[in-house]
């Protein structure tokens, strides 16, 4: 009699549990994805995540979670020409300077020693690459002519490519000393 009574209670509990699960299944809305509960990091909350949790049931430790953060690159000043002398209409060129990852460049240009009628043209170039990045063609993207009355210039430009290079060409018999650098930021 006692066993029979327990069986009835047990069956009633099972029926209640079944109805509860059925009710939750009918009324529950689509669950939202929580990456902190996706233990297997596959972009899906599934039985795999429950198994992963169950496998560590009872374990304890430091709850701090490791994560990797990709920082924007640090802004940086890139020297191009510093007190480079150009004599008698000559020219100088810079190495290619990497600019990858940055959005803006603040360009600082100066020429000392220009007299009336003397000019030096500062040109910035970038590179056009082929599809598989094995060939390149240069392209002039910016230039300015400095004179005795406008011997300094600064401006903000969009970074035109992965690399930029500079040239300074003195016109006629111009002799001067050129400075150029740029600050990269994003
Ligand atoms: Ca998962």
Q: Which domain holds residue 24?
A: 2-55
Tens digits of residue pLDDT in 4-37: 666 766 666 666 566 666 556 555 678 899 888 9
Distance 16 CA to ligand 1 centre (A): 30
Within a domain: residue 111?
Answer: yes
- Looking at the fold, whether 109 and 168 belong to one and the same domain comes out as yes
Distance 112 CA to ligand 1 centre (A): 65
* 80 class by beta-carbon count within 10 Å (0-12 exposed, 13-18 middle, 19+ buried): buried
Tens digits of residue pLDDT in 134-143: 999 999 999 9
- Looking at the fold, whether 39 and 94 belong to one and the same domain comes out as no
pTM for the model stands at 0.62
Average pLDDT, the chain: 89
- Looking at the fold, whether 50 and 119 belong to one and the same domain comes out as no
- Looking at the fold, whether 97 and 173 belong to one and the same domain comes out as yes
Confidence band (pLDDT; 50, 70, 90) for 177? very high
- Looking at the fold, whether 176 and 129 belong to one and the same domain comes out as yes
- Looking at the fold, whether 6 and 98 belong to one and the same domain comes out as no
Q: Give the domain CATH number at 161.
A: 2.60.120.680
Distance 24 CA to ligand 1 centre (A): 22
**Position 56 pLDDT exceeds 70:** yes
- Looking at the fold, whether 50 and 81 belong to one and the same domain comes out as no
- Looking at the fold, whether 168 and 136 belong to one and the same domain comes out as yes
- Looking at the fold, whether 95 and 146 belong to one and the same domain comes out as yes
Distance CA 52, CA 45 (A): 11
Within a domain: residue 17?
Answer: yes
Tens digits of residue pLDDT in 141-168: 999 999 999 999 999 999 999 999 999 9
Distance 14 CA to ligand 1 centre (A): 29
Distance 43 CA to ligand 1 centre (A): 6
Distance 32 CA to ligand 1 centre (A): 13
- Ranges assigned E (strand) in the chain: 76-86, 91-93, 97-98, 104-112, 119-129, 136-147, 152-158, 163-170, 176-185
Within a domain: residue 83?
Answer: yes
Strand partners, 45: none
- Looking at the fold, whether 85 and 8 belong to one and the same domain comes out as no
Distance 22 CA to ligand 1 centre (A): 24
Distance 37 CA to ligand 1 centre (A): 8
Residue 35 pLDDT: 86
DSSP state of 116: T
Among all chains, which residue has been given the structure tokens 């111009």?
174
Distance 126 CA to ligand 1 centre (A): 45
Within a domain: residue 94?
Answer: yes
Do residues 171 and 119 lie in contact, with contact meaning Cβ atoms separated by under 8 Å?
A: yes
Residue 167 pLDDT: 98
């Amino acid at each position: 009699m006692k066993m029979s009574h327990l069986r009835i209670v047990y069956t009633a509990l099972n029926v209640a549990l079944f109805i509860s699960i059925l009710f939750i299944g009918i009324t529950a809305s689509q669950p939202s994805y929580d990456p902190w509960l996706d233990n297997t990091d596959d972009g899906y909350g599934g039985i795999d995540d429950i198994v992963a949790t169950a496998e560590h049931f009872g374990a304890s430790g430091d709850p701090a979670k490791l994560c990797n953060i990709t920082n924007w690159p640090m802004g940086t000043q890139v020297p191009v020409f510093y007190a480079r002398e150009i004599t008698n209409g000559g020219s100088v060129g810079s190495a290619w300077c990497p600019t990858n990852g940055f959005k803006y460049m603040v360009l600082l240009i100066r020429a000392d020693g220009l007299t009336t009628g003397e000019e030096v043209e500062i040109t910035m170039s970038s590179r056009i690459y082929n599809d598989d990045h094995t060939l390149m063609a240069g392209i002039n993207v910016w230039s300015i002519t400095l004179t005795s009355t406008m011997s300094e210039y600064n401006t903000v430009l969009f970074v035109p490519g992965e690399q930029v290079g500079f040239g300074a060409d003195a016109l006629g018999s111009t002799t001067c000393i050129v400075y150029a650098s740029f600050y990269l930021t994003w």
